[in-house]
Structures are given as C-alpha cells and as structure tokens.
Amino acid sequence: MSSTSKSSAVALLSSGLDSSVALAMYLASGAQVRLALTCLYGQRASDQEVQHAQEIAAYFKVPHQTLNLGWMGKFPSALTQSQNAIPNPSRADLDDAQFTQVSAKAVWVPNRNGIFLEAASGFAETLGASHVIVGFNREEAATFPDNSRSYLDAINTALAFSTQGRVQVVSPTVMMDKTEIVAWARAHHFPLHLVWSCYEAHDKMCGRCESCQRLKRAIDDPLYIASRFETGVSALENKI
C-alpha cells in the first residue's frame, strides 16, 4: 500500500491478527489513523474483542470506539447464536477444502463485512479520512469471498458512488497468508500478546476453533501457544 503523509483512515479493528496488523502496517507507511472502530454484532467474543481492541488502539495511540450493531445477532450464525456449534477442526482440516467450506458456512454472518465497511466509510467521510482499513487475507479468502481482492475492488467501486469524499477501503494484508502476516508482525515488533483471534470469550483463547487453529499454525511458538490458549499443540492438531 502506498500512502502520503496526508493520508488518514478509520480502521476496522476486531483485535484479531489480520485487522490488528493491517492497522500497524498502515501506520508504518506514515499515514494517520483517526479512529479504530470495533463492531458489536452479537458475537460470542465481543467482551474479549473490545478489551483487546482497546489495548491495541492504546498501544498505537489511536482513538477507539465501539459501534453497536446488535440487531445483526438475529442473523443465523454459530458466532452469534449459542445453540449453534462452532466447528473445531484439526490442523490438517485447515487445508481440506471440503471441511473449510462447511466450517465457513457455520460461522458465516450474512453481509457482515459489507455492513462493517459501509458503516466505517460513513465515519471516515465524517472525519475527513480518505481510507477505511480492513484486515483481509488470501488464506481465508479461499472460503470467505468477502476477504478477497475481488471484493475489495467491488466495495471500492460502490463507495465511489456512496461517499462524496471518495473514501476507499485498503487492506495491507489482502495478498498475505497468516504466516506472512505473523512474519511481518515479528519483524516490526508488533505486540502479538494483545491479539484476540478466538470465536469464544473465555479467559484464554480456546485453541480449538478455526480462527485459533490458523493463528496457532502461523505463530508456531510453543511458549506463545501455552500462554495464550486453553489447549496446546495436540496430536489431533498435528495429524497429517
């Protein structure tokens, strides 16, 4: 991503790996983040996401705000409705296209990224910011099309009509996988201990859901895994 010193943005910050590192990458380019926005849509992990997003925003000295979209909790998804089970894949399952399609369907929240981006774009135009930052990645784009470069281009086409200031969405991580995102974070001393990538809201990240499994695989650090997750690296996770 290229930027000038005059560029500024509103960041969508869930406190997960991708959105957190995307925020850091944008700041590292010399641009300004006017606001970090965490959306509350009835997700199970909301309390932990807000806490960790606040800590990440404070670390980077960026103002933080939550946006209440609780009505989205009526959308059917395992992320918002406790009666629906969250899939717990093995590490091998992460590369199984059939499994990941089923897993993605279970945690899919209809038009979640579209709603978030449209709302954040309104904040950006109001604050005079030129960009909305989002943490897409090519690894999850394989099963979540609204994480892809094609979706990024499509939403920017729409925003050219719906924002007077021509706000555009940028994703510094969009062509990276999780391992590459972690490598950038380590090289730039990003505080990975502040990340919350879990679908649940326990005292520690569960270590079992797909989001946790992808983070554990990318970080590949037994000390980090032992300190941040309820479960360590098991034989099930390592099966090939």
C-alpha closest to that of 34 among 133, 112, 107: 133
Read off the pLDDT of residues 12-38 as tens digits, 9 standing for 90 and up. 999 999 999 999 999 999 999 999 999
User: In angstroms, rounded to a whole number, what is the distance separating the alpha carbons of residues 104 and 108?
Assistant: 6
Read off the pLDDT of residues 57-76 as tens digits, 9 standing for 90 and up. 999 999 999 999 999 999 99
Instruction: Supply the pTM of this predicted model.
Output: 0.92
Buried b (16+ CB within 10 A) or exposed e, 64-75: beeeebeebbeb
User: In angstroms, rounded to a whole number, what is the distance separating the alpha carbons of residues 121 and 115?
Assistant: 10
User: In angstroms, rounded to a whole number, what is the distance separating the alpha carbons of residues 206 and 231?
Assistant: 7
pLDDT of 4 > 50? The answer is no
Q: What is the DSSP string of 36-63?
A: EEEEESS-TTHHHHHHHHHHHHHHTT--
Q: In the prediction, which pLDDT does 87 show?
A: 94
User: In angstroms, rounded to a whole number, what is the distance separating the alpha carbons of residues 219 and 232?
Assistant: 13
Q: In the prediction, which pLDDT does 82 show?
A: 87
- Within 8 A by CB and 6+ apart from 20, the residues are 13, 56, 135, 190, 194, 195
Question: Three-state SS for 142?
Answer: coil
Segment 152-174 mean pLDDT? 96
C-alpha distances out from residue 55 to 37, 60, 113, Å: 13, 9, 23
Angle at CA 182, nearest 5°, toward 181 and 185?
A: 90
Segment 63-90 mean pLDDT? 95
Q: How many CA atoms lie within 13 A of 79 on its CB side?
A: 25
C-alpha closest to that of 209 among 73, 107, 98: 107
C-alpha closest to that of 10 among 118, 137, 102: 118
Name the pLDDT band for 6 (thresholds 50, 70, 90). low
Domains along the chain with CATH numbers: 8-238 (3.40.50.620)
Q: Which residue carries 């980077």 as its tokens? A: 60
Handedness of CA 222, 187, 205, 212 (dihedral sign): negative
Name the pLDDT band for 235 (thresholds 50, 70, 90). very low
pLDDT of 114 > 90? The answer is yes
